[in-house]
Amino acid sequence: MSLSVNVYIISETGEWIKQAPEFDYQTLAGFESYRTKLYGSEAAKQLGLVILPKLATQDLNISGEEVAQLQAEAELILQDVEKFADQTDLDAEYIQSRVGNIVLACKIAINAHGNVVIW
């Protein structure tokens, strides 16, 4: 199984409308094991991340101002992705790609006033 990152807008009737990125691969957030190996890792917690480590135990549905916080957390990982990769024993390019998809989803959600769901 893989983790997916999606953007949804909630219509006036309460319907969730998915906002698709330009390419399908932009919905990938990593392997299921990344819940603990990456997002819930000690390295993530040492960076001061708050939202992403919750993926270790639950799916995320982020809305409102928390979307900007999620984006900031993802960008923090990307600032020194090589060091983060060393600390988690994961591939830096893969981390950059998957965490980059989270940043992209946040940008789309902010522009559309939508939610980011990672599941």
What is the per-residue burial (b if ≥16 Cβ within 10 Å, else e) of 86-110? Answer: eebebebebbbebbbbbbbbbebbe
Across the 119 residues of the chain, what is the mean pLDDT of every consecutive 10-residue run?
A: 94 93 96 97 96 98 97 97 96 98 98 96
pLDDT for position 84? 93
Q: What is the pTM of this model?
A: 0.96
| pLDDT attached to residue 1 | 76
Single-letter code of the amino acid located at 117: V
Q: According to the model, what pLDDT value does residue 97 have?
A: 98
